[in-house]
Amino acid sequence: MKRLHVIKMKKMLENASRMIAANEPYLTEVDTAIGDGDHGTGMKRGFSALYKMLERQEFYEWDTLCGAAGIELVKSMGGASGVIFGTLFIGGIDRLPHESSCSLTEIADYFMEGEKAIERRGKAKAGQKTMLDALLPAVEALKKGADTGMEIEDAFFYAYNAALKGAEDSKGMESKVGRSKNFRESVLGLPDPGAISTSLIFKAFYEELVSR
C-alpha cells in the first residue's frame, strides 16, 4: 500500500493502546529493576485513556488524530513519560497533512520530527539507554522505506524489527540520563523500559497494518 487512511491509523493507535495495557506487568517488572517502577502503570493509564478517547471520537484528518492522541497521553500520564510519549505524537505534527490519507514519506518525516523533538526536549541521544534507542532505528527504517519506495506495510515491518533490536541493544548500555542513571552500572544487562514500550507500539502498528 502506498497511502494510509486515517481510519487505519486510528486502528493502529487502538492496537498500540491494547498492546501497552496488556504488557503492563512486564513493563512494571523491567522498570522495578531499573527505575522507580512506575513506568508500566503510567503507560497503561495513558494508553487506556487514549483508547477510550479513540473509541468515542471520529477523526477525518491525520494531523487532528495524531495531535489528539499526543495530548491525551500528556493529559493522563504526567511525569516524564507523559511528556516523552506525548512529544512522540505531537513533535512532528506539522509534517502531517490535514487530510484523510497520508504517504509513507509524510509518515516517516512525522515520526522523524517527533524523535528529534524528544532529543531536544530530553537533552538525550540514542545510545544512552532511553526510549530513543528503539525509536531512532525505527524512524530511520521508515525513512529508508520511504526513500526506496517501499510499500507501507514493509516499511513498518522493518521499523518494528529495528525497534525490537534497539530495545534489545539497550541492555548493554550504561544509563546517562533520566531516573535510571542513579543506578549506573547495575543497569547493565537490563533493557530500558521506555525502549520496550516503543518497540511494543511499533509491533502493534505493524500487526494492525497487516491484519484484515
Partner 1 sequence: MRVISIMKIINNKEEVLGEVLEGIMFTQPDAYIRMINEFSYILYRKNMDDKKVKIIASGGAGRGPLFEGFAGEGLADAVVTGDFNCAPNAYALYDVARTIDRGRGILFLTNNYAGDYLNNDMAVELLSKEGISSGMVLVSDDIFSARGEPKDKRGGLSGIGILIKIASAAAEDGLSLEEVLRITQKANDRIRTAAVCMNDDLDLMEFGAGFSGEAPVITEKFQSADRLAESAIEKIMGELDSYQGGRIYLNVNRMRQMMYVEGYVVLMSLKRKLEKKGYSLIGASVGGYYDAYDANGCIISLLSADSELEKYIKPAKGYDFTI
Give me the phi and psi of 148, to 5 degrees please: -100, 10
SS3 102: strand
Closest residue by Cα to residue 135 from 103, 169, 162: 162
Interactions with partner 1, residue window 117-136 (CB under 8 A)? 121-122
What is the x/- site pattern for partner 1, positions 87-116, by CB under 8 A? x--x--x-----------------------
CA distances from 10 to 14, 79, 84 (A): 6, 25, 20
Q: Which region, judged by CB under 8 A, interacts with partner 1, from 17-25, 51-59, 84-92, 133-141?
A: 84-92
Instruction: Figure out which of the listed residues 86, 137, 191, 194 binds partner 1, where binding follows CB under 8 A.
Output: 86
Count of CB atoms situated within 10 Å of the CB of 159: 29
Q: Which region, judged by CB under 8 A, interacts with partner 1, from 2-10, 54-62, 78-86, 190-198?
A: 78-86
Instruction: Figure out which of the listed residues 11, 18, 75, 176 binds partner 1, where binding follows CB under 8 A.
Output: 75
Distance CA 110, CA 159 (A): 14
Q: Which region, judged by CB under 8 A, interacts with partner 1, from 1-9, 79-87, 96-104, 191-199?
A: 79-87
User: In this structure, are residues 50 and 15 in contact, taking their beta carbons and an 8 Å threshold?
Assistant: no
SS3 3: strand
17 is an interface residue for partner 1 by CB under 8 A: no
Interactions with partner 1, residue window 176-205 (CB under 8 A)? 178-179
Is 123 or 212 the residue whose CB approaches partner 1 more closely?
A: 123
- Min separation Cβ 89 and partner 1, Å: 12
Name residue 154's amino acid.
D
78 is an interface residue for partner 1 by CB under 8 A: yes
Instruction: Figure out which of the listed residues 76, 170, 180, 197 binds partner 1, where binding follows CB under 8 A.
Output: 76
Distance CA 123, CA 61 (A): 31
Distance CA 22, CA 117 (A): 28
Unique residue bearing C-alpha cell 487506556: 48
Q: Which residues bind partner 1 (CB under 8 A)?
A: 71, 74-80, 82-84, 86-87, 90, 93, 121-122, 178-179
